[in-house]
Chain A
Amino acid sequence: MRISTNMFHSQGLSAIQTHQKNVLDSQLQMSSGKRVNNPSDDPVANSQIHGLKSMISTIEQYAKNGTFAKTQLVQEETAITDTVSSLQRARELGIQMLNDTYNADNRKATAEELGQIIDQVSNMMNYTNSEGEKLFAGNSVNAELAFVEDPNNPGYFAYIGSTNAIGQVATDGSAVYDPLANYGSRFVQIGFDADNKVNPDDFGDPSRVRVSDNGDKVFQVPNVQTTFSGTGTQDANILNVLVEFKNALAAGLPPPESVISDIDSSITQLSQVRAEIGGRQNRIQTQYDTGESFKMALEERRSGLEDADALKGITDLTKNQNALSIAQQVFSQVQGMTLFNYLR
């Protein structure tokens, strides 16, 4: 093959340019730490990386949801624990007052203390969280109170979702009765959902955790024994049992024995709810742990696809740099070769 002078130039130049581009590419990979800096670096991996990143970020959001749910549940737990200790004090008083050694005056005095307990329990049952939401009003979190005074039985209480609350008005004059309070506790998503849909019902999804409760169910006394003295069928909540208890004491009478057994069953009921809330917190923790280990696996795959191998990067860079300097040297060497040097 005949070699023309231009060929030395163009070949040398194109070799230098090729190596320069390789050095530049290695430099970008090394400085960004990434193998895929643009989709074109690996279009197939790019699409996977997008998917993985979005999944990782969704898991992180579920973890955040879980943290939020936990703070809600801790507040609910506190409110219930507080109620249980109040009820235990009420139970002690009940057992004392059944004892014949106390007279009518003692009972009236105790009625005062019981009044305090009732206030405390009703306060807890109307617990408002930091966001100003009622914890025990189902999803009617904006209600002024979850348990209002029964308009037909002054002194007694009715849940706002109960028909006994019909006729009661809030301070702004609006009716408090809200049948929606009986439904739809709030669910927070802590994991991936199979059908990506939540239905408007009270059951939720395995991927979600309940963070608010229907107060009527929580504070309901199961199989209530106490007979309420007012008109109609009143709400069988623990507050009304305590009111009945207090009324008996205020009248100087010993409390009906059914009060003690009702307080007992309410404490059992509340303890169950509390255990259930603990269970929800455990679920959040388990989901979090699962999510974290899943995330680790995803991160590892993402890193394998996207991140540059530092060792390989350094090796490539050095290799390309060497190739470039060799090409440059060769170029200048070859330039010196011409027959004219010998024509003297």
Chain B
Amino acid sequence: MADMLSIGSSAANTYKTALDVTSHNIANVSTDGYSRQRAEIMSSAPGLSSVKFSGAGSYVDTVMRIQADYIQRQLNTSNASVERYDQQLQLSQQVEGIVSSSEDGVQTFIQSFFDSLQEVADNPTSGTSRQMMLNEAGNIESHLNNLTTVFSDTQEQVNGQIKSMADEINDRLQTIQSINDQVERAFDNGSQPPNDLLDQRDQAILELSGYIGIKTFYQESGRIDIHTANGQLPLLSDNTITELKAELGPYSNENRIELYMTLGGEQKVISDKISGGQLGGVLDFRSNMLDVAQNELGLTMNGFVASMNWQHYQGYDLNGDAGTSLFQPLASTAIKNINNDIASDDGTGIAITFNPPQPAAGFNGEPPYTPATQPATYGDKEEYFNNAINAIGEMEPREYLMIYNGTTGNFDVYDRQNEGVVLGSFANDPLNPSIIDGLEFKADGGTYAAGDRFIVKPHQDMLEQFETLITDSDLIASRGQSQIDSNNDGSLNDEVPAPAAYGDNVNIANMANLQSKKILLADNNGAATETILGGFAKMTSNAGMYVRSSEIQLTAQTNVHQQMLNQRDSLSGVSLDEEAANLMKFQQAYEAAAQIIATSQSIFQTLLGAVRG
């Protein structure tokens, strides 16, 4: 049975609570992830015994948290995208600045080297010009060394980032896990939802989404499950954490950290299944920019080294000896997978070199030539050289995966990024190598088991191996083939290879001319599409394209994210003006409720006074 006093006191209590809620809102105006709360005020139902309809005052039914799950989920997604592209942009700009600066990039040094070749062609007997050329070659070498250091430092940095992000993600998952427990208990205990705990959990999840793209699933119990963005991998399922592990990849000599997860009792590499967040950004940067830039730069350097060396083999030095290797030729060996059969060889017996096909079976010899290994005629030698130039055109900027095939006894070769298509195969027999993508693959006939996996990175290896071998400037093969046509048939192709006169510049002029010759990246018809310097330009443009698209994506995603933040703020954010108005409203209501109590007391006093007479 409600009377004025109890109505008054319930109202005073109600507005006291409403004022508390308002104060709580004001107190958290700048708390990250806070959702504004509202006291839901209801009127009390009349008592059952009451004969006539009469209200019983008011009470606070619940303190509501104003929030929408769908906004929160979109916020997680957009946050993951922003963090991803931000990370990509930062890392790729760092590499871009070094790899592709238009002023002092590799191409500047290569250009100077070709200029120095021209100087030697002008004046082939000048010791100064010849020494200058070797100095320019040395400059390329030191610049490439710097670049390689930057690449390996960046690789280290990426490794470190992946490790620390995996730790960070595991930490956040633990935080969410413990909040999940508290939330579940709170729901069990009472009807009032644990508003601030829910905010904290949403905020922790939002922070997690900055590290990795995620999907959330609300459970009946009030708990939340978290999977990776594509939904394939559980991170927190049934409040059990599946930890991320960052460890060296299966090709351990590669020094590349990969992410592992134990699924169904089996440890699996999941690096390629992660997208979004800083971690997704770092992984994307690594495979789509860092690896690509190194392979493209390495391909250009492979083309440069092979073409220079082979043209150099065609000529003769000042002593009249055939040209030797001006630069260290490619010598790449395979890296084994740690899961290979324990009895298998470690892959150092699988060698990848640049060794173009000979013009005919039983061909005399391979360069660098000695008098005994010179081909029979100048024409044969030129044909061999042309084979080399064509092989350079066939090179592709990729890494190779080789799987030992137990049935055929051959190694099947795949593009490492695309295990679906066999590019070719080569026998486990040193006498029977194969040429794939212009490179020679040769196995030593060692012990291998079916399914053994190896990888090889011929282009990255070239960057590390690049070295000028010639130090004595007299050994620069500036002279070309002798012009003497012994049988006067008008062609030198049938002549025995022999050096031209001391001051001849034909070979060095031809080396210099390789600058303008398209020799790289042959199209389907076998016609090369890029010059050596064009190869660099292509590499830098591709790098620039990656940075550019990261930048555009970042801008777009930041806008989306801003939009989502606005939506969230609009719905859940505290407005001080609104709270000020509420403060006044509830204060007045409270004062009025107090007045009810006062009035009820004064009525009572009046009654008492009347009785007293």
Chain B hits for A3, CB < 8 A: 570, 575
Whether B464 is near chain A, meaning CB under 8 Å from some CB there, is no
Whether A180 is near chain B, meaning CB under 8 Å from some CB there, is yes
Chain A hits for B502, CB < 8 A: 139-142
Whether B565 is near chain A, meaning CB under 8 Å from some CB there, is yes
Whether B447 is near chain A, meaning CB under 8 Å from some CB there, is no
Closest CB in chain B relative to A1 CB, distance in Å: 6
On whether A7 and B573 interact (CB within 8 A), knowing A58-B516, A61-B118, A198-B513, the answer reads: yes
Q: Residues 44-72 of chain A: 1 if any B CB is under 8 Å from the residue's CB, otherwise 0?
A: 10110111011001100110110011000
Of the listed stretches B7-15, B191-199, B425-433, B503-511, name the one at the interface; the rest are far from the partner chain: B503-511
Whether A183 is near chain B, meaning CB under 8 Å from some CB there, is yes
Flag if A200 contacts B548 (CB, 8 Å). no
Flag if B506 contacts A200 (CB, 8 Å). yes
A200 to B381, CA, bound (A): 14
Whether B483 is near chain A, meaning CB under 8 Å from some CB there, is yes
Flag if A6 contacts B543 (CB, 8 Å). no
Whether A338 is near chain B, meaning CB under 8 Å from some CB there, is yes
Closest CB in chain A relative to B293 CB, distance in Å: 11
Of the listed stretches A79-87, A188-196, A245-253, A278-286, name the one at the interface; the rest are far from the partner chain: A188-196
Flag if B125 contacts A133 (CB, 8 Å). yes
A25 to B437, CA, bound (A): 43
Flag if B482 contacts A180 (CB, 8 Å). yes
**Which of B503, B546, B584 contacts A186 (CB under 8 A)?**
B503
Whether B160 is near chain A, meaning CB under 8 Å from some CB there, is no
On whether A188 and B543 interact (CB within 8 A), knowing A51-B537, A139-B502, the answer reads: no
Chain B hits for A306, CB < 8 A: 102
Chain B hits for A338, CB < 8 A: 576-577, 580
Closest CB in chain B relative to A186 CB, distance in Å: 5
Chain B hits for A200, CB < 8 A: 480-483, 492, 500, 504, 506
A343 to B583, CA, bound (A): 10
On whether A188 and B30 interact (CB within 8 A), knowing A58-B515, A338-B580, the answer reads: no
Q: Residues 564-577 of chain B: 1 if any A CB is under 8 Å from the residue's CB, otherwise 0?
A: 01100111111111
Flag if A186 contacts B93 (CB, 8 Å). no
Please give me the residue from chain B that is nearest to A201 by CB atom. B483
Please give me the residue from chain A that is nearest to B573 by CB atom. A4
Q: B residues 356-386 with Cβ under 8 Å of A?
A: none
Whether A155 is near chain B, meaning CB under 8 Å from some CB there, is no
**Which of B545, B566, B584 contacts A343 (CB under 8 A)?**
B584
Flag if A7 contacts B569 (CB, 8 Å). yes
A200 to B502, CA, bound (A): 13
Chain B hits for A268, CB < 8 A: none
Flag if A57 contacts B111 (CB, 8 Å). yes
Please give me the residue from chain A that is nearest to B519 by CB atom. A196
**Which of B505, B509, B514, B541 contacts A43 (CB under 8 A)?**
B541
On whether A38 and B492 interact (CB within 8 A), knowing A131-B126, A139-B500, the answer reads: no
For chain A, give the interface size range: 35 or more
Whether B581 is near chain A, meaning CB under 8 Å from some CB there, is yes
Chain A hits for B577, CB < 8 A: 5, 338-339
Chain B hits for A4, CB < 8 A: 36, 569-570, 572-575
Flag if B501 contacts A50 (CB, 8 Å). no
Whether B80 is near chain A, meaning CB under 8 Å from some CB there, is no
Chain A hits for B301, CB < 8 A: none
A194 to B52, CA, bound (A): 111
Flag if A46 contacts B540 (CB, 8 Å). yes
A186 to B484, CA, bound (A): 15
Chain B hits for A339, CB < 8 A: 576-577, 580-581
Chain A hits for B122, CB < 8 A: 65, 68-69, 188, 211
Chain A hits for B115, CB < 8 A: 57, 61, 64
**Which of A38, A50, A189 contacts B509 (CB under 8 A)?**
A189
Chain A hits for B541, CB < 8 A: 39, 43-44, 46-47, 50
Chain A hits for B124, CB < 8 A: 186
Closest CB in chain A relative to B297 CB, distance in Å: 13
Flag if B575 contacts A5 (CB, 8 Å). yes
A189 to B100, CA, bound (A): 30
On whether A40 and B515 interact (CB within 8 A), knowing A2-B570, A189-B118, the answer reads: no
Flag if A7 contacts B574 (CB, 8 Å). no
Chain B hits for A242, CB < 8 A: none
Please give me the residue from chain A that is nearest to B110 by CB atom. A54
A57 to B565, CA, bound (A): 52
**Which of A42, A61, A64, A201 contacts B492 (CB under 8 A)?**
A201
Please give me the residue from chain B that is nearest to A181 by CB atom. B501
Please give me the residue from chain B that is nearest to A5 by CB atom. B576
Flag if B102 contacts A189 (CB, 8 Å). no
Please give me the residue from chain B that is nearest to A143 by CB atom. B502
Flag if B125 contacts A7 (CB, 8 Å). no
Closest CB in chain B relative to A8 CB, distance in Å: 10
For chain B, give the interface size range: 35 or more
A211 to B509, CA, bound (A): 14
Whether A212 is near chain B, meaning CB under 8 Å from some CB there, is yes
On whether A6 and B97 interact (CB within 8 A), knowing A38-B547, A46-B102, A193-B513, the answer reads: no
Of residues B114, B121, B536, which shows the largest number of chain A Cβ atoms within 10 Å of its Cβ? B121
Whether A138 is near chain B, meaning CB under 8 Å from some CB there, is yes
Closest CB in chain A relative to B401 CB, distance in Å: 30
Q: A residues 288-322 with Cβ under 8 Å of B?
A: 306
Whether B562 is near chain A, meaning CB under 8 Å from some CB there, is yes
Flag if A178 contacts B501 (CB, 8 Å). yes
Chain B hits for A201, CB < 8 A: 483, 492
Of residues A53, A181, A192, which shows the largest number of chain B Cβ atoms within 10 Å of its Cβ? A53
A188 to B119, CA, bound (A): 9
A202 to B123, CA, bound (A): 17
**Which of B484, B545, B572 contacts A179 (CB under 8 A)?**
B484
Please give me the residue from chain A that is nearest to B128 by CB atom. A131
Of residues B503, B517, B533, B545, which shows the largest number of chain A Cβ atoms within 10 Å of its Cβ? B503
Of residues B122, B501, B572, which shows the largest number of chain A Cβ atoms within 10 Å of its Cβ? B501
Q: Residues 121-139 of chain B: 1 if any A CB is under 8 Å from the residue's CB, otherwise 0?
A: 1111110000000000000
Chain B hits for A202, CB < 8 A: 483
Flag if A40 contacts B118 (CB, 8 Å). no
Please give me the residue from chain B that is nearest to A17 by CB atom. B558
Flag if A2 contacts B575 (CB, 8 Å). yes
Flag if B107 contacts A184 (CB, 8 Å). no
Flag if B544 contacts A46 (CB, 8 Å). yes
Closest CB in chain B relative to A136 CB, distance in Å: 12
Whether B593 is near chain A, meaning CB under 8 Å from some CB there, is no
Whether A36 is near chain B, meaning CB under 8 Å from some CB there, is yes
A161 to B289, CA, bound (A): 60
Flag if A196 contacts B514 (CB, 8 Å). yes
Chain B hits for A208, CB < 8 A: 509
Q: Residues 1-45 of chain A: 1 if any B CB is under 8 Å from the residue's CB, otherwise 0?
A: 111111100110010000000000000000000001011111110
A11 to B566, CA, bound (A): 9
Q: Residues 326-365 of chain B: 1 if any A CB is under 8 Å from the residue's CB, otherwise 0?
A: 0000000000000000000000000000000000000000
Q: B residues 103-162 with Cβ under 8 Å of A?
A: 107, 111, 114-115, 118-119, 121-126
Flag if A6 contacts B500 (CB, 8 Å). no
Please give me the residue from chain B that is nearest to A131 by CB atom. B126
A42 to B545, CA, bound (A): 8
Flag if A49 contacts B118 (CB, 8 Å). no
Q: B interface vs A, CB < 8 Å?
A: 29-30, 36, 93, 96-97, 100-102, 107, 111, 114-115, 118-119, 121-126, 480-484, 492, 500-506, 509-510, 512-517, 533-534, 536-538, 540-548, 551, 562, 565-566, 569-577, 580-581, 583-584
- Nearest 8 A/B pairs, CB to CB: A39-B544, A4-B573, A141-B503, A183-B483, A40-B547, A50-B537, A139-B501, A43-B544
Residue contacts A-B, CB under 8 angstroms, 12 given: A4-B36, A4-B569, A58-B515, A61-B118, A131-B125, A132-B125, A141-B501, A200-B481, A200-B482, A200-B483, A338-B577, A339-B576
- Give me 20 other A-B pairs in contact (C-beta within 8 A), A4-B36, A40-B551 excluded: A1-B570, A3-B570, A4-B572, A5-B574, A7-B573, A10-B566, A10-B569, A38-B101, A65-B118, A139-B505, A141-B501, A141-B502, A141-B503, A142-B502, A180-B500, A184-B480, A189-B509, A192-B516, A196-B517, A338-B576
